[in-house]
Structure 1
């Protein structure tokens, strides 16, 4: 019984650490967004496009899937970001029903201007962790993310 209690305590500590990390990352994203004069969700959309784009643009559905948000919200926000000069949206050459979204030079320049601050922030956040430790941590977190999606699905269909 003592082992089960230790595991339950460790799981609870993990959950509260995730809540704290999430809260702090949200504040950090808000700060980055404010520096660019955009909203936090718009900042996340820019970051997702920056990560996903391999030079041909990114479909909105890929951005929605990465951020786990509704595609209509991505469409609405990318229109605003396009109007602000941060994005271009062009018809996909493979399928005219879809748009390919890319960062503009303005967006790339604005994001690049934050790079020194972002590096300093990352250095502070991950102080004491080397590359191998971060890779190990990311593998474990990816496993937990996958398992939590599975557990959530089981819970939603009533088999848990």
Structure 2
């Protein structure tokens, strides 16, 4: 069995993917997607000469890389502590969900584990869960975020 973890800052999703891999012997891959859609989202630099757009894009790029390092480090520490073999991948995409769905279809995965709500890049403002559920080619395990109450 091949299992994909949509990597964000959710330690509960990380732990669940690791537990499933340990229990089933699944081949576990964690995918972190760098969101490059910010340039489209913020549009053109209306403050000509101020470099506000460029500065913001540089800030978001640096923040994306910092989030990537933190999420991968947390995942690797947890997987190693559990004694689970894993692979970590990084991808760059304009839409994080499109990169996840592409990896699912190209990688032949049987299951995806992801946090809900999913917090990566601009997906914090979109319904990433619905987009993935609508188009996923495999089972999807949604893991509620730490401290999030169930819906009423």
TM-score (norm. length: structure 2): 0.31
The structure whose Rg is larger is 1
Per residue, is there more strand in 1 or in 2?
2
Per residue, is there more helix in 1 or in 2?
1
